Structures are given as C-alpha cells and as structure tokens.
Structure 1
Amino acid sequence: MLTTLISFFVTLGVLITFHELGHYWVARWCGVRVLRFSVGFGRVLIKRFDRNGTEWAISAIPLGGYVKMLDQDDLAPSSKISSSEHSAATHANPPGSPDPRGSSFQSQPVLKRFAIVAAGPVFNLLLAVFLYASINFVGNKEPEAVLAPPTANSPAAMAGLKGGDKVVAINQTAIASWPQLRWNLLQRLADGGEAEITIERGGAQLHRTLQLPTLADPSQADPMRDLGLGLASGPPIVRSVVEGSVAQRAGLISRDLIICVGETNRPDIGSLVQIIQNNAGKPLELEVDRNGEKLKFIVTPSPHTLENGQTIGRAGIQLGADIPMVEVS
C-alpha cells in the first residue's frame, strides 16, 4: 500500500512538472517573461535565477509544480508582489531595458495565449507517446499465447483446439503473445468468416480452422469467451505436499512442475483439479519437470465423499501456477 502511494505521488509529480514545462517553454518562445518555475508547492527550499530572470525553485510539498508568468497586476504601481518575484523582475530588466509591459501574458495576441495554455496538455500527450513508444521499442513481458481447455461446443472446441496448445500464427501472421492473439482475432471478428490457427502441440505444428461469427458490437460480451478461447494459467506447480498423502507416497515433492496428466498435455490448475476429482481410486500418470529433469509418477487419487454424497478424488497437493511470459517488442 505504501509503495503504491509513493509511486502514485512520484508519477503525479513527474506528469505535472512536465505539464508545467510545456507552459514554460511555449511562454518563453512567445516572449512572455516567466517569473518563477517551481517544482513542488509551499515554502521554497532551494532557488536560483537564470540569465532571463526566471527563478527556478524547489519547494517543500513535492506534488507537481507551477509556473508564474508576468501579468498586468505585477506591472501595476499599486500591486503587491513578493520579494522573489520583484527580484526576478528587476534581474530581468536592468535600467535602460525595454518596457516590460510587452512581455506580460495578457499583452500577447489571442493565438499566443491559446498556445501557452494548450502547451501543458500537449506536452503530457507527447510524453505519453514517448513513454509508450519507448516501452514497446525496448520490449516488455506479455503472457505467452498458450490456450486453456476450450469450453464445450464452442467454436474453439469444434476446431479441434485443446488446452496447452500454443498459438504461433493466425492466417500465417506470427503470434508471440496472448494480447497479440486477442487483437488479431478481434480485428477479424468484425467481418466474421474463418481463421487458420497454427498451433504447436507435442513438438509438432498443426493447422486448425476456427469459425468466426460476425460480431457487430464487441462491447456487449467477451468475444474470446464466446469463441471458447482462454489464457492458460501455466503448468501447475506443486507448492506443498500433504504429509502421508497419495502424492507423497508416489514421490511428488514441492516445486515439481506438472507438465502432463494422463492424455492431457500442459494442463492448467483447473483442468488438473478436475481430472484428479473425476478419477477417484483410478491410477493417473503424472509427468513432472524437476529441475529440468522429466520424471513420471503414478498417482491414485484417494476417494473422498462430500456432504451431498458425491465422491471425488484427492491427491493431497497444494497447487500454484506461474503464467508463461514472453518478451515482445
């Protein structure tokens, strides 16, 4: 919670400061005198004057900043201005310099005043463009395009897609991550038709044809759910093994990565739990990855009767999962 608050205030400070820099730079370009540029609010902690007479300050409350431009009130004989603003004005206008009235904000033409006011939001927009472009150019982690078991009778199930399939292309367009898969299919759903899905399954590449219904308004439902497609949570990881359980007797230990159960390759947690519950008293072959070594174990889930009389299987393991990530730029 504390980290979130600190991150929020630091981000807010950066955004506001850059916003004010936009006002400052365009004001200077338009010939307006800037009396003060402050990072933060409240009592001034550190300050200095540049050759243009602008006071650059760091203030006590680090929540953004502000720009103080010369206005008509500062030039009025009866106006009261602070000592720092007076010092800035006199520093910028030594005896014999031109009349400062032409360098106030109010004295500028409408178009220049509009440019100064609009510069802050425009600079924030440019900052967003720069940051997003930089992140995507350098690259970032995104979930790998590995499918969860499709829902029954869905277009994905009828196309022959299975849980653990890794999508590598759609209509011969390479796919590296789940966001790329989702975006590609959403674009095609506007017209309907079909899409050729290239998947990796068991080390081989297979092609499947996915029928796409015409979707007039994607906001009314989750198009991916309607297709029966979901993101796999990643191979289940054994977090702990219950003492004396069938899993312990079979030889499973903490940190084992379950990569196959029965005929199901790369199961997610939900499908693994369902398979174990549906096979009470029946032996199941589990293939695990233990520190890079592939091992196989036979686990026979022990029967357990629920209050409603239903009998389910239990193996005595607590599971977790890490979503596979891929670097995308």
Structure 2
Amino acid sequence: MADFIGSVWWMIVSLGVLVTFHEFGHYWVARRCGVKVLRFSVGFGKPLWSRRGRNGTEFAVAALPLGGYVKMLDEREAEVPAGERMAAFNNKNVWQRLAIVAAGPAANLLLCIALLWAMFVVGNRDYSATVGQAGGMAASAGFASGDRILDVDGRAVATWAEAGMALTTAAMDRSDARVRVRDRQDNERTRVLPLSTLPAGFDEHGVAAQAGLAWQFQIQPARLDSVLEGSAASGVLQPGDLILAIDGQAVASAGQVAPLVQQLGRRGGPGMIEVERSGQRLALEVTPRQASDGKGPWLLGTGFASGRPAYDALRQYGPLAALPAALRETGKLAGDSLGMMRRMLTGHASVKNISGPITIARVANASAERGVDWFLYFLALLSLSLCIINLLPIPVLDGGHLLYYLIELVKGSPLSERVMAAGQYVGLALLAGLMGLAFYNDILGLVLR
C-alpha cells in the first residue's frame, strides 16, 4: 500500500513539475509575442484552485494531473472583440506562431539540462561497469571477473547502466560489440562480444545477463548472516564466516552455495567447507541434511546478508564543469531515445519499450527512494522524453502544429480548415493507439512481475 501511495504521489509531483515548465514555455513566448492568454492550467478537468493575474490570465490547478494547457485568445474558437483581434493567436504571423508552439518542448529541453546540471553538482552515485562473473559467450570472448569496461564500440561508459545500454543497442542492431576493458592487472584489452548470435526475440532488458555477464555489485559475497540452531551447520559454521569453497569447488558468491550443497548432499556423507574466519582460513566438516520426507532440498541451515553493496562510482563536477557535462549527457540521452524510436519503427526493437503512466509512477517512486540525485536524473529523462514526444509530427501534438506552420511557410498560405481538422482526427487516432499500447505494456508488466 505504501508503494502504491508513494508511486501516485511522486508521479503527480513529476508530471506537475514537467507540465508546468512545458506550459510556461508556451505562456512566456505567447506573452512576448503580444498574445492574450486566457487560462494557464496544470491538469485537466474542473479547477481545484484558480486565481486571475493582473494581465487577465486565469491560473488554475485542475483535478486530473496528467497534462495541462495554455488557452489563448483565438478567433477560430470564439468571437473576439474588435479591439482585441491583434492579441489573438491566429492573427500572429507564422514565425510568431512557430515560436509559441516550439517554446513548450524547448522549455522541457532546458529543464532537462538544468536538472542534469543539478544532479552532477550534487553527485550521481552508481555502480561501476565492473564484471563480477563471466560465463557463456562472455567467458568465451575472454571476459573475466574484475574486468572494468571502459567503452563499447567507442562509446565511453562510466557505469553499469551505460554499459548495459550500449550492449543492448549493439544487440538490437544484430552486431557484435567491441568492448575495451581494464583487467585486474591494470592492462587494457579489447574483447569482441558476439551479440549478433543472440537468438531472435531475446530479452532486450537483460542483454548483459544473456551474454553471460554479471556485474560486480550483483555478486553477493557468501558471508554468513545466520546459522539456524540445531541445523547441519550449527556448532560448525558461525555468522560472519565467508565461504570460500565447498567440497573442493571454489565459491565466489552466495548464489553458488545452494547448488554446491545439493551436489554434496546427493553424493552422501560429510564434505569439507572452507571458510575465512577472523582472517584465518579454516576447513570444516559438514554433512547437509534433507527435509524429513526425504524429497526436499539439501540444507546447511545458514542464511546470507541481504542488500546491495555501497556505490562505487560517482559522477560529480563543480558548478562550472557540470554545465558541459549536462549538455553531453542530454545529447547522449536524446541520441539513445531517438535511436530507440527508430529501431521500434524499423522492427529492430520491441514496442514493449513503450511505457505509460503506471510505469512512470513506479519508476518515479523507485528513483525518489534512491536519493535526490536519482530523482533529478529521472525528472531530466522524463522532461527530455516529453520534449521529443511533443515534437513528433502528429497533429494534436506540438510537432503536428509545427508541421502545419512549416507547410504554410513553404506554400505561402495556411492550410485549409478542412485539412487541419482531418489531421486532428488522424492525430487523435494515432495518439489513442499509442496510449492504448502504453497502458497494455504497463498492465502486462504488472501481471508478469
């Protein structure tokens, strides 16, 4: 219940901030161009709060917090008194109308840069792109535990998320990835990961794992947190022991313990478990026990500490250096977003990547729980997405209106009301289809969790 309330709250906060900036962009440029703004609304539906400014604009917060709008004086929507006709939007020249419409997405782009700047000043904590375990194709390609990934296909990466995105891009393009790493001996090497051999329909959200890579922060050390009284390990193993080997087979993580215990149990008899205790390496004899019905798994009666390790990567800059860093990050995120859209249109990426408000709410809550730096990053990414989506040449969206005005510039006269109305219907149908797909993916994601 707490997660649900938190998700709803942070979604409202996120959309409220982004929509306010988007609509303020339209409002500010409209006022600079001499257009009379009738209403500035954050949200749709019945106003919960409103007040009127000195310039006559009604500022309102409405009940449905999934968008907003700026209502301008326009002769196409209502009769305009003769004395105010020059303040109507439709009577402004095409360049002014272009500027007013483009100002919303531009405000979101500027907000994205500002949020990333703030994130870099605060400091963005994350995990490094360090390999914890390598198996499958990654092991065959030469990857080993401790390899620190420096770049993928020439794209520098500082964190595991950046490395994962670069590997996913290569996999979607059905190409092999050239990965430059620094190994434990501090030597730089280039390894080729044959991602083109991944089967059709691979999981785009788990490319690194399917390639056999597990990140270092995902590898939980096999350090005991508890020993059950009266169990097979009771009196032999102790909390704090770090398991190093079971029956002669090395243990690098807690995830390896259970399968090795099953092997030892099926073999029968006692086995040697090597542990590190207070700086000493000890070899202890333990015999796993099976459930009383003789059908369950073999157990030692031990537990491991849960939770992820501390972050080992930090991206932080001074106020001046943070600005170019924010610009670079914005460019990289924009390239990734546009690349994903292109791949979905060409069939190289799944349309399951389209998400709706349910996913936004869940990610907003998770980001807020991770800290202010992660919430700033989430807001920046969402603001950039809002900018890009609004610039799509779909009637109803800002991009559709920009397309109309560009056509007007070329042909020298506005499009007919009939053509524009037909375009609005097409735009509504496309938008409804996209929203339906986003909701479907959201619901499917909840069902499959």
Distance, in Å, in 1 between the alignment partners of 2:166 and 2:126 is 15
Q: Does residue 139 of structure 2 align to residue 156 of structure 1?
A: yes
C-alpha displacement at 1:14, in angstroms?
1.6
Q: Identify the structure with the greater strand proportion.
A: 1
Q: Does residue 70 of structure 2 align to residue 49 of structure 1?
A: no
Per the alignment, residue 83 of structure 1 pairs with: none
Change (3 A) 1:246 1:327: same
Equivalent residue letter for 1:47? R
Per the alignment, residue 75 of structure 1 pairs with: 80
Using CA pairs under 8 Å that are at least 6 residues apart, name the structure with larger relative contact order, 1 or 2.
2
Whether the 8 Å CA contact 1:26–1:116 is kept in 2: the answer is yes
Distance, in Å, in 1 between the alignment partners of 2:163 and 2:62 is 48
C-alpha displacement at 1:34, in angstroms?
1.8
Distance, in Å, in 1 between the alignment partners of 2:189 and 2:259 is 26
C-alpha displacement at 1:3, in angstroms?
0.6
Whether the 8 Å CA contact 1:242–1:248 is kept in 2: the answer is yes
Whether the 8 Å CA contact 2:130–2:148 is kept in 1: the answer is no
Distance, in Å, in 2 between the alignment partners of 1:188 and 1:76 is 59
Whether the 8 Å CA contact 2:149–2:181 is kept in 1: the answer is yes
Tell me which of 144, 168, 177 is aligned to 2:148. Answer: 168
User: Max radius of gyration: which structure?
Assistant: 1
Change (3 A) 1:257 1:17: farther
Per the alignment, residue 179 of structure 1 pairs with: 161
1:322 counterpart SS class: coil
Per the alignment, residue 34 of structure 1 pairs with: 37
Tell me the number of residue pairs that the alignment of Structure 1 and Structure 2 aligns.
293
Output one character per residue of 1:217-243: Cα deviation in whole Å (capped at 9) or x when no partner.
998546534542222333245454311
C-alpha displacement at 1:102, in angstroms?
0.6
Change (3 A) 1:237 1:132: farther
Output one character per residue of 1:107-146: Cα deviation in whole Å (capped at 9) or x when no partner.
1123322332332233224333443454356432323444
Q: Does residue 253 of structure 2 align to residue 272 of structure 1?
A: no
2:91 counterpart SS class: coil
Distance, in Å, in 1 between the alignment partners of 2:200 and 2:98 is 37
1:270 counterpart SS class: helix
Tell me which of 23, 27, 40 is aligned to 1:20. Answer: 23
1:247 counterpart SS class: coil
Identity, % of aligned positions: 29
Tell me which of 227, 233, 252 is aligned to 1:241. Answer: 227
Per the alignment, residue 90 of structure 1 pairs with: none
Output one character per residue of 1:276-316: Cα deviation in whole Å (capped at 9) or x when no partner.
3333421111226xxxx646554444234589989975321
Equivalent residue letter for 2:125? K
C-alpha displacement at 1:19, in angstroms?
1.6
Whether the 8 Å CA contact 2:22–2:108 is kept in 1: the answer is yes
Per the alignment, residue 128 of structure 1 pairs with: 112
Per the alignment, residue 85 of structure 1 pairs with: none
Matches within 5 A, 1:52-131: 53-55=55-57, 57-59=59-61, 61=63, 63=65, 65-72=68-75, 73=78, 75-76=80-81, 99-131=83-115
Q: Cα RMSD (Å) of the superposition? A: 4.1
Distance, in Å, in 2 between the alignment partners of 1:111 and 1:217 is 50
Equivalent residue letter for 1:112? Q
Per the alignment, residue 196 of structure 2 pairs with: 215
Per the alignment, residue 403 of structure 2 pairs with: none
Distance, in Å, in 1 between the alignment partners of 2:191 and 2:295 is 37
C-alpha displacement at 1:23, in angstroms?
1.1
Whether the 8 Å CA contact 2:224–2:303 is kept in 1: the answer is yes
Equivalent residue letter for 1:105? F
Instruction: Name the TM-score, length of structure 1 as normaliser.
Output: 0.69
Per the alignment, residue 229 of structure 1 pairs with: 213
C-alpha displacement at 1:207, in angstroms?
6.7
Q: Does residue 275 of structure 2 align to residue 286 of structure 1?
A: yes
Instruction: Name the TM-score, length of structure 2 as normaliser.
Output: 0.53
Output one character per residue of 1:21-52: Cα deviation in whole Å (capped at 9) or x when no partner.
111011112211223334455346452523xx
Equivalent residue letter for 2:299? R
Per the alignment, residue 288 of structure 2 pairs with: 303
Distance, in Å, in 1 between the alignment partners of 2:177 and 2:57 is 64
Q: Identify the structure with the greater helix proportion.
A: 2
C-alpha displacement at 1:180, in angstroms?
4.3
Whether the 8 Å CA contact 1:43–1:60 is kept in 2: the answer is yes
1:279 counterpart SS class: helix
